[in-house]
Amino acid sequence: MKREIWKGSEAIAEAAIRAGCRCFFGYPITPQNEIPEYMSLHMPQRGGVFVQAESEVAAVNMVYGAAASGVRAMTSSSSPGVSLKQEGISYMAACQLPAVVVNVMRGGPGLGSIQPAQGDYFQATRGGGNGDYRTVTLAPANIQEAVDLTQEAFDIADQYRNPVVLLADGLIGQMMEPIVWKERTPRPLPEKTWAACGRGSRDHNNFITSLLIDAPACEAHNLDLAKKTAEMEKNECRWEEILLDDAEVVLVAYGTPSRVAQTAAENLRKQGIKAGVFRPITVWPYPYARLREIAARESVKVFLDVEMSLGQMLDDVHLAVAERKPVRFYGRCGGAIPHVSEVEGAALEAWKEVK
Amino acid sequence: MKKEVILSGFGGQGVMSIGKNLVEAAVVEDLEASWVPSYGPEMRGGTANCTVIISDERIGAPLVESPSEIIAMNRAALAKFEPAVAPGGTVFVNSSIIPDKVSREDVKAVYVPCDEIAAELGNSKVANMVMLGAYVAATGALKQETIETMIAEMFTGKKAKLVPLNLKALHRGMECGRSA
């Protein structure tokens, strides 16, 4: 297959179109403007709709409307913009509407900076909006994976009738790498019999709402959603293990920091220290079970969690490791990207503590 | 084989573009490659840069602290990145507009009068292609034929007439790279 060079944001946009996304609604924000830019040109040419909305809130509610009618719909933004979309994401989760939300994260909190960061981890992995719900959250570490996960995100959304978040950091959005457009086999998916797309020959109207004003009905609905949450947890967890089989120092990182951690681990091995990387690809559901198994290995001495935030995924690493081994942390934030030497130094320090 | 290059110059000097050319050529040669732009609240007329990695193995960190080479198209670029070059690395200097010499003794310096050569060829826009030629010849990172084919494919239709000019610029740069 021919390798082509793509910029992350543009690759995500093209991947969405190839996955059958036909409605894109967005509002500009750096560092993801190439997504709406690409969509504005290509969506109309490919039989789709592009709307630059008046705000992020409007854009996510347009996605809500489009998804309710049964079409594949997407919005994208960056951190402060994604915060604004949380209401819509919660409503879509409540209404069981499939949609894809891309967050190309930048420095926060507030307006923050326009450089890469990962400070939206809690928001993305804990639901983000109000109420009891979760979204499958996919975190690519290279452009090929950004493409593959974007396409799969639409299948996952349709399968569970739930919003899916693609959680990329600004570097993944901006960098270029070679990719191949693979032949995809889409998942077998249920028909969208629930879609509010005109009554047609149906004997009833499909009615989509998140308002369940009686508590017992609302609780029953929540429990139904919880069953789906459990299914997603069971089926959608994924991760990658790099140099991990004999590792004594385990670096845990996702997205760009996982690549920095990989280079750091390779360097440490040249110095005779057995380092490896555990890379969650889904940050929700989090690969707790596998990380727990690794923590139980006799060979594993210490964990180092590396983030472009100040200890958010760290909570999940602690939940998985559960005091079996020490867990250390190294993070940069606000748009700063950790250097290999810094991560290497932090890992070395952690290793010295336990050897 | 692993090359980690930082390319830097004024916006408009084509550093982002030749960085992308390196990635394109690497892909033709079946290598792994990555390109990361610097972006931020940049000032108009300010200095832009990108980091390119070419490797025969999977690329980890896409940003580098000690590049094996830097390409400095303006004075600010040289001042900013010369200290970072790995010992034994190479510094490519656009000597047409950078009066300074490379001060370090543990790196190799390649001086390329990019803008003068481009002016001789009658088009100031090919100064970056001169530098690309110098880089390829001095490092041997990529094959000459690959770059030539890439240039031929880069300009099509009405722009096809630019191919000979760009090839000439590439070859003049290669002479500088070889003799350095």
Instruction: List, for residues B1-19, the tens digit of each pLDDT value.
Output: 999 999 999 988 999 999 9
Question: What are the chain B neighbours of A270 within 8 Å (beta carbons)?
Answer: none
Instruction: For residue range A48-59, list pLDDT tens digits in order.
Output: 999 999 999 999
The mean per-residue pLDDT over the stretch B47-75 comes to: 97
Q: How far is B35 from chain A (nearest CA, A)?
A: 5
Whole-number pLDDT of residue A355? 87
Contact residues of A toward B, CB < 8 A: 3, 5, 31, 114-115, 171, 174-178, 256, 259-264, 266, 337, 339-341
% of residues, chain B, pLDDT over 70: 97
Whole-number pLDDT of residue A1? 79
pLDDT band per the 50, 70, 90 thresholds, residue B47: confident
Name which of A32-36, B83-87, B145-149, B154-158 the model is least confident about: B154-158
| Alpha helices in B29-139, H assignment, sequence order | 75-81, 114-120, 127-139
Contact residues of B toward A, CB < 8 A: 20, 23-24, 27, 32-37, 39-41, 58-63, 65
Q: Hey, how many other C-beta atoms are within 10 angstroms of the C-beta on B111?
A: 17
Q: How far is B16 from chain A (nearest CA, A)?
A: 11
Nearest CA in chain B to A170: B39
Does residue A271 carry a pLDDT above 80?
yes
Q: Who wins on pLDDT, B40 or B25?
A: B25
Does residue B43 carry a pLDDT above 90?
no
**Are A178 and B33 in contact (CB < 8 Å)?**
yes
Whole-number pLDDT of residue A311? 98
Size of interface A-B (CB pairs under 8 A): 61
Question: What are the chain A neighbours of B60 within 8 Å (beta carbons)?
Answer: 259-263, 266, 340
- Angle subtended at Cα A265 by Cα B23 and Cα A349, rounded to the nearest 5 degrees: 135
Predicted interface score ipTM higher than 0.90: yes
Interface with chain A: mutation pick from B32, B63, B154, highest number of A CBs within 10 Å: B63
The mean per-residue pLDDT over the stretch A111-127 comes to: 97
Please provide the average confidence, as pLDDT, over all residues in chain A.
97
% of residues, chain A, pLDDT over 70: 100
Domains parsed from chain A with CATH numbers: 4-235 (3.40.50.970), 239-354 (3.40.50.920)
Task: Specify the CATH superfamily of domain B2-179.
Answer: Pyruvate-ferredoxin oxidoreductase, PFOR, domain III (3.40.920.10)
Nearest CA in chain B to A106: B40
**CA B42/CA B40 separation, integer angstroms:** 5
Question: What are the chain A neighbours of B37 within 8 Å (beta carbons)?
Answer: 174-175
pLDDT band per the 50, 70, 90 thresholds, residue B40: low
Interface with chain A: mutation pick from B17, B24, B29, B34, highest number of A CBs within 10 Å: B34
- Angle subtended at Cα A62 by Cα A61 and Cα A66, rounded to the nearest 5 degrees: 120
**Are B65 and A174 in contact (CB < 8 Å)?**
no
Strand partners, B81: none
Does residue A152 carry a pLDDT above 70?
yes
Q: How far is B56 from chain A (nearest CA, A)?
A: 13
Question: What are the chain B neighbours of A3 within 8 Å (beta carbons)?
Answer: 27
What does the domain layout of chain B look like in residue ranges?
2-179
Whole-number pLDDT of residue B119? 98
Q: How far is A211 from chain B (nearest CA, A)?
A: 43
**Are B65 and A263 in contact (CB < 8 Å)?**
no
Over its C-alpha atoms, chain A yields an Rg (Å, rounded) of 21
**Are B23 and A176 in contact (CB < 8 Å)?**
yes
Supply the pTM of this predicted model: 0.97
Would you say A326 and A354 are in contact if contact means Cβ atoms under 8 Å apart? yes
**CA A332/CA A341 separation, integer angstroms:** 13
Region for A25 from its dihedrals, namely left if φ exceeds 0, alpha if ψ lies in -120 to 50, beta otherwise:
beta
Query: Among B20, B34, B39, whose Cβ lies nearest the Cβ of A31?
Result: B39
Q: How far is B51 from chain A (nearest CA, A)?
A: 10
**Are B35 and A259 in contact (CB < 8 Å)?**
no
**Are B39 and A174 in contact (CB < 8 Å)?**
yes
Instruction: For residue range A64-101, list pLDDT tens digits in order.
Output: 999 999 999 999 999 999 999 999 999 999 999 999 99
Nearest to B37 by CA among B22, B17, B51, B24: B51
Whole-number pLDDT of residue A312? 98
| Alpha helices in A119-177, H assignment, sequence order | 121-125, 143-160, 170-174
Structure tokens at B160: 């096809």
